[in-house]
Amino acid sequence: MKKAFLFICSLLLITGCSLSKSDDKSKMVDFSSYNDKFTVTASDKWKAVSNKGELNESADIEISDAKNQKYMIALMESKADISWNYDEYSEFILNQNSTIYDVTLDDVKTTKIGGYNANWVEFKTQPSGINIYMRIYVVETENYYGQILIWTKYSSKDDVKDEFDKIVSSFKEVK
């Protein structure tokens, strides 16, 4: 009886380990913008949205892991169409989003995304009474200024940070 119990425990342990290993083998997929000028990479759990404009009518890239309620959009603007420098553009975008999401965006951090300058903030917002964890990145590529927004339900905040970092850091302008 004791041997049977140990055998079953060992079998469950081995089976559990092999199941968790297979769950980690998701493939990475490149998602292109609608105009093929930008790409971002995410696991194959993420999909391009079904209908252009589903997440934002102005978005150049729209992807989601709808099953896990995770979403990302990128909105890009040609530098040729804007008279501001990057700092002015970044300040405008962050102020605009502060108003849209009714939050104070004081803790602006700097980073590099694919070698490009970027400012970013993270915050909790409550559109329609639902708690959302969101990050907004303002990025400058060689030819564009833009913003990348990535979000999920607030209760998943701690679970998504590494995944969000990987996705956003993969963003690049296609030359």
pLDDT at 145: 98
User: What are the structural domain ranges in the chain?
Assistant: 27-173
pLDDT of residue 110: 96
pLDDT for the residue 26: 78
Distance CA 98, CA 107 (A): 12
Q: Return the biggest CA–CA distance within the chain.
A: 79
Give the rounded percent of residues in the chain with a pLDDT score beyond 90: 77
Structure tokens given for 93 = 């975008």
In CATH, what class is 27-173?
A: alpha beta
Distances (CA, A) of 162 to 54, 86, 159: 25, 27, 8
pTM for the model stands at 0.84
What's the pLDDT at 27? 94
Q: How large is the C-alpha radius of gyration of the chain? A: 20
**What is the rounded average pLDDT for all residues in the chain?**
87
> pLDDT (tens digit, 9 = 90+) per residue, 49-103?
989 999 999 999 999 999 999 999 999 999 999 999 999 999 999 999 999 998 9
What pLDDT, in 10s, does the model give residues 120-136? Answer: 999 999 988 899 999 99
